[in-house]
Structure 1
Amino acid sequence: MADWLTQVPESALAHLDGGRVDEVECLIADLSGVARGKAMPASKFAHQTHFYLPNSIFYQTITGEWADEAAQEEFTEPDMVLRPDYSTASAAPWTADTTLQVIHDAFDKAGEPVPYAPRNVLRRVMKLYEEKGWKPVVAPEMEFYLVARNIDPAKSIEAMVGRSGRPAAARQAYSISAVDEFGPVIDDIYDFAEEQGLEIDGITQEGGAGQLEINLRHGNPIKLADEIFYFKRLIREAALRHNCFATFMAKPIEGEPGSAMHIHHSVLSTSTGKNLFVAEDGGETDLFRHFIGGLQTYLSPATCVFAPYVNSFRRFVKDNAAPINLEWGRDNRTTAIRVPVASPEARRIENRLPGMDCNPYLGIAASLACGYIGMVKEVEPKPEYIGDAYHAEEELPRGVYAALEEFAAAQPLREVLGEHFCRVYEAVKLSEYDDFLRVISPWEREHLLLSV
């Protein structure tokens, strides 16, 4: 056995079943959460401690262009040093040969973490918590659609056809029969997840046609972000096996609910292990209130991270399972900030703003950053909202430009996430929006061609 295999999780060794690794995929997430990297023979991987990729992967937009920020720093594309985190080694069970995936961390040639690498941004936020004696715990929820194959961008996305031969139906939230329609795909999702050592807490049918939700067990934020990074790939691969697509777009189908990545948070004491949201008498602590206050104050400036594309903002529709303001409430799914029903030990705060299209490392980092600032600055929340929060005033930015303007002005948030990251992220998002503005949409042709 190669020395590096002694450092990988048991699930990766179990996948090998005493055999040998043929190939290793060396992965890192770019700003969009897209997997970048290299695939190489396992024999070569075994004899190297690192490899190189140009830093331009973090300046690349979702359309494949490069942001202006790269030119400002002179576009010489210097190499980064990528080092493997062997604890992330995971099977790629859909491949024809025996392949392991390994997530890498990015450093500059002086050995310093690259500040705009998403995993490093999350690690930066985690370090701030650790310095306070706090241990953040998160539990993400993943919503996505299984849709019919779509190879024509001009064609509307349609629900997939289930095993009954009928297109998936909408408005069937929590229906077991609806889940059964996607049985073969879900079976492969379970099988792939087991091979990769990923634990699923449950799968449910959501309100959209072909929309599913996977809940993950609570745990370390970096580990959970890694799992979402892996899950997106395995779900796509499972769907392709059954002649359909899996999409994590925030709003893929007109008239259907959007897909969210709700994040549940709690904060433990590193010295005692106790939930810092729980007082000695079982009541709610000042830190609990201040975390909510931080979310209410800084979620709006962080919206460009939670809603990174023009499509993302189509999700924030009144009465359609997504927040339109920053109210908070107990067991209230109309608010952006929800306190679920739970025992005192399991007390947590749910951020319902992020879309499933956001980068999981950045989404979790930004959400924890907002709560951190609230706790450090002792930000008091508004009174709890009682009733339907869709009756309250809309508060979220209405589009990419508005969101980026708020992000630019939120100095406390930028300090926590890192100014260098914020500049690169802004440049990439502005470049993407410029690309979008060059496209003439069907709506414009339908309503403006002969009428204006």
Structure 2
Amino acid sequence: MAQILTPTVQWQMRTSKYTGNASPITTKMWNSLVLKRKGTSKSSAKFRVCALKSGRGTVNRMEDLLNLDVSPYTDKIIAEYIWIGGSGIDLRSKSRTISKPVEHPSELPKWNYDGSSTGQAPGEDSEVIIYPQAIFKDPFRGGNNILVICDAYTPAGEPIPTNKRHRASQIFGNSKVVDEIPWFGIEQEYTLLQTDVKWPLGWPVGGFPGPQGPYYCGAGADKSFGRDISDAHYKACLCAGINISGTNGEVMPGQWEYQVGPSVGIDAGDHIWCSRYILERITEQAGVVLSLDPKPIEGDWNGAGCHTNYSTKSMREEGGFEVIKKAILNLSLRHKIHISAYGEGNERRLTGKHETASIDKFSWGVANRGCSIRVGRDTEREGKGYMEDRRPASNMDPYVVTSLLAESTLLWEPTLEAEALAAQKLAMNV
């Protein structure tokens, strides 16, 4: 992996001894990501320091402090407040000392940040208030330290435009939605890029690897690029308490996927956003750029999606397949509404090629990955189960997608005329 990060320079993995307490991923994983350079060449200050220091030098002493467990000395913890920035996809965070360990976000104080520096407020009235909404264990600092997912409000208590969680929580709080216990399983795809050239990891700079085929779930130095990052992220999410359920290499080399779920209601969005934050931090440590662009490389290469598996209590019970069909009918009638909310740049991905449906046409099918909505063979055979919305892009907001699915299938009712026409069209497409 080190040679891929800096393809023109040879690097050697550096190991160091450490006997103190550590968080679940910092000792072994971080040691494998701290590199020592052979020879001399221009590089970043970080790598020059590693090359010049050895034994119990500066880097090791800093590592000791980063891994230090402070719980024997103080009850205080560090809470990393995390929120979504002005683009609606960028994540921001800052740290705060809390007097004692907490178990629920209601025990944490509200905080504020400079919204004029994130594109979310004017300079003359820049204060944005963040409300703690969900907490996770901090896999970087370990101990009782926590990651805090927040949403953002004006000082008057109004949600700012990029706060999509507020609206989602209202939908998931509706009694009709609560009674149906909506489950979500989200498949987050992402691409790893080389830092300076912004070209996929493992690809020759300015060139292309062999065609797609051997890379999906592949193993080997010529097929798998970035496995250490994927594995580190997997373990970090488990440590944090994120409901991550699996991971795999994707069809395009340098592209990976992990799955989160099943999660109920608003938890799906909280878990995805926290998992994205952890992935950003790990790629930061590795010196690799994380991309959630839905089509990072034009041409005959797969894009990156965020397929969202969805079911309700009625779908999971006997006769659920008919409930799924009714939900699909509703989704067909609101196709344009969903597409407009399913991620920026998604039109470059949803072309009808590379396991996608056309962005302009709604379709569904059993075991068909070229449809808007896919229903599994097991669901068809058993007459109950779930469906997969394959339209969301990798950069979608999970609060928006999950709540929109719940709204369209549980709260919204089409007119009888529209329902009949949609049923007729869908029957012709299947």
Match of 1:358 among 383, 386, 396: 396
Rounded to whole Å, the distance in 2 between the matches of 1:214 and 1:301 is 27
CA deviation digits over 1:82-133, x for unaligned, max 9?
A: 3323x4233051x699852112244555666667621112112212354683
Q: One-letter code of the match for 2:321?
A: E
CA deviation digits over 1:178-197, x for unaligned, max 9?
A: 57543322231123122212
Alpha carbons of structure 1 residues 216 and 53: separation in structure 2 relative to 1, 3 Å: same
Q: One-letter code of the match for 2:404?
A: A
Alpha carbons of structure 1 residues 143 and 377: separation in structure 2 relative to 1, 3 Å: farther
Rounded to whole Å, the distance in 2 between the matches of 1:50 and 1:144 is 32
For 1:248-287, list aligned pairs within 5 A.
248-255=292-299, 256-268=301-313, 276-277=314-315, 280=318, 282=319, 284-285=321-322, 287=323
Rounded to whole Å, the distance in 1 between the matches of 2:174 and 2:415 is 14
Rounded to whole Å, the distance in 1 between the matches of 2:283 and 2:162 is 32
Structure 2 partner of 1:330: 366
For 1:353-392, list aligned pairs within 5 A.
353-373=391-411, 379=419, 381=423, 382-384=425-427
Match of 1:51 among 105, 111, 128: 111
1:26 matched to 2:73? The reply is: no
Structure 1 partner of 2:324: 288
Contact residue 201 and residue 226 of structure 2 kept, 8 A: no
1:203 matched to 2:203? The reply is: no
Contact residue 215 and residue 224 of structure 2 kept, 8 A: no
Structure 1 partner of 2:352: 318
Alpha carbons of structure 1 residues 188 and 300: separation in structure 2 relative to 1, 3 Å: same
Secondary structure in structure 2 of the residue aligned to 1:229: helix
CA deviation digits over 1:130-161, x for unaligned, max 9?
A: 4683322111111111222235xxxx623336
Structure 2 partner of 1:84: 132
Contact residue 294 and residue 372 of structure 1 kept, 8 A: no
Alpha-carbon distance, 1:250 to partner: 0.8
Alpha-carbon distance, 1:244 to partner: 2.4
Alpha-carbon distance, 1:229 to partner: 0.8
Rounded to whole Å, the distance in 1 between the matches of 2:177 and 2:226 is 46
Rounded to whole Å, the distance in 2 between the matches of 1:43 and 1:372 is 43
Alpha-carbon distance, 1:247 to partner: 1.4
CA deviation digits over 1:223-253, x for unaligned, max 9?
A: 1211111111222332333342221111111
TM superposition score normalised by structure 2: 0.67
Contact residue 135 and residue 267 of structure 1 kept, 8 A: yes
For 1:430-445, list aligned pairs within 5 A.
none
Q: Gaps (5+ residues) in structure 1?
A: 1-10, 269-275, 388-452
Structure 1 partner of 2:7: none
Structure 2 partner of 1:409: none
Rounded to whole Å, the distance in 2 between the matches of 1:329 and 1:17 is 55
Rounded to whole Å, the distance in 2 between the matches of 1:161 and 1:219 is 35
Contact residue 295 and residue 371 of structure 1 kept, 8 A: yes
Rounded to whole Å, the distance in 1 between the matches of 2:390 and 2:149 is 27
Q: One-letter code of the match for 2:165?
A: R
CA deviation digits over 1:327-349, x for unaligned, max 9?
A: 11111111001112335486112
Secondary structure in structure 2 of the residue aligned to 1:342: helix
Secondary structure in structure 2 of the residue aligned to 1:125: helix
Alpha carbons of structure 1 residues 138 and 131: separation in structure 2 relative to 1, 3 Å: closer
Q: One-letter code of the match for 1:123?
A: S
1:231 matched to 2:279? The reply is: no
Q: One-letter code of the match for 1:372?
A: L
CA deviation digits over 1:374-429, x for unaligned, max 9?
A: 55767454435767xxxxxxxxxxxxxxxxxxxxxxxxxxxxxxxxxxxxxxxxxx
Report which stretch shifted further, 34-43 or 15-24.
15-24
Structure 1 partner of 2:60: none
For 1:87-126, list aligned pairs within 5 A.
87-93=134-140, 99-106=145-152, 117-126=163-172
Alpha carbons of structure 1 residues 278 and 221: separation in structure 2 relative to 1, 3 Å: closer
Rounded to whole Å, the distance in 2 between the matches of 1:385 and 1:146 is 41
Rounded to whole Å, the distance in 2 between the matches of 1:125 and 1:222 is 9
Report which stretch shifted further, 17-26 or 238-247.
17-26
Secondary structure in structure 2 of the residue aligned to 1:290: helix
Secondary structure in structure 2 of the residue aligned to 1:250: coil
Secondary structure in structure 2 of the residue aligned to 1:321: coil
Q: Identity over the aligned pairs, expressed in percent?
A: 18
Q: One-letter code of the match for 1:227?
A: H
Report which stretch shifted further, 120-129 or 221-230.
120-129
Report which stretch shifted further, 354-363 or 103-112.
103-112
Secondary structure in structure 1 of the residue aligned to 2:181: strand
Q: Gaps (5+ residues) in structure 2?
A: 1-23, 25-67
Q: One-letter code of the match for 1:82?
A: I
Secondary structure in structure 1 of the residue aligned to 2:312: strand
Structure scoring higher RCO (CA < 8 A, sep ≥ 6) equals 1
Report which stretch shifted further, 29-38 or 247-256.
29-38
Alpha-carbon distance, 1:215 to partner: 1.7
Rounded to whole Å, the distance in 2 between the matches of 1:187 and 1:259 is 19
Alpha-carbon distance, 1:266 to partner: 0.8
Contact residue 306 and residue 394 of structure 2 kept, 8 A: yes
- Count residues in correspondence: 342
TM superposition score normalised by structure 1: 0.64
Q: One-letter code of the match for 2:130?
A: L
Contact residue 295 and residue 374 of structure 1 kept, 8 A: no
Q: One-letter code of the match for 1:137?
A: W
